[in-house]
Amino acid sequence: MNRTVQKRAKAESRTNDPERTMADIIEVATREFAEKGLAGARIDVIAEAMRTSKRMIYYYFGSKEGLYVRVLEEAYRRIRQIEAGLHLEDLAPEDALRRLVGFTVDYQLANPDFIRLVMTENIHRGEYLAQSKLIQKLNVPAIEGLRGVYERGVAAGVFRAGLDPVDLHMSISALSFFNTANRHTFALIFKRDFDSAAAVVARRDSIVEMIVRFVRR
């Protein structure tokens, strides 16, 4: 198949499956925004990687900022969707908390693009995240899930009372986020290999234990 026929086939595929096209654009745009931030990302680079036109991207997303908001929404949707499948309600409270914290550490370490996107949005003081009602809704179940685990633990006498689930969520996120966001600078400053299998497991266990001991009665 020659190049002209290939391009025509791809164009017809995009026309016939707009949802797939949008998902593919978001995937490419995620890498571009994560690597260069909102200001540095370029729509023509995304279009070239997609072998499509800037016009098509603007048709689907309206603007560069519109695409960036969709990238943020997809990033949050993905992590919250996986969290919902952890079945924390089937575990004893401390086991459920350990699973949730461990998942958060693992996910953020395996998805540095998510970290970079969150860092970019904090540079913008949450300006674009505030435009998305979807992201607001996505994060409600995350807090409610953690609240359920915590309240079951308090009722069972294994967790101490008086903690705020949002504050607890922030502490879990902070430790997991820092573990990924600052690993390069820490490795250079302290001459440590944080990417070795042993170091990854040790740090993960440490974070899980810190949170559990903080919550435990």
The stretch 81-105 carries a mean pLDDT of: 96
Residues of the chain with CATH 1.10.357.10: 69-215
- Number of C-beta neighbours around residue 90 at 10 A: 9
Q: How does pLDDT run across 38-65, given as a tens digit for each residue?
A: 999 999 999 999 988 899 999 999 999 9
Residue 132 in contact with residue 73, Cβ under 8 Å?
yes
Task: Check residues 23 and 17 and name the one with the higher pLDDT.
Answer: 23
Indicate if the pLDDT at residue 111 is higher than 50: yes
Q: Please check the confidence at residue 3 and state whether its pLDDT lies above 70.
A: no
Domain span(s) for CATH 1.10.10.60 in the chain: 1-62
Q: How confident is the model at residue 17 (pLDDT cuts 50, 70, 90)?
A: confident
| Secondary-structure class of domain 69-215 per CATH | mainly alpha
Pairwise CA distance, residues 105 & 206, whole Å: 11
With bands split at pLDDT 50, 70 and 90, how would you rate the model's confidence at 78? very high
Residue with tokens 């995240």: 129
Mapped onto helix, strand or coil, the DSSP state of residue 185 is helix
Average pLDDT, the chain: 92
What CATH topology corresponds to 1-62? Arc Repressor Mutant, subunit A (1.10.10)
Sign of CA dihedral 126, 127, 131, 132: negative
pLDDT digits (tens, 9 = 90+) for 136-176: 899 899 999 999 999 999 999 999 999 999 999 999 999 99
Give dist(CA 87, CA 83) in Å, integer.
Answer: 8
End-to-end CA distance of the chain: 67
* Per-residue pLDDT, 136: 87
Across 189-210, average pLDDT: 96
Say what percent of the chain tops pLDDT 70: 93
- Rg, Å, the chain Cα set: 21
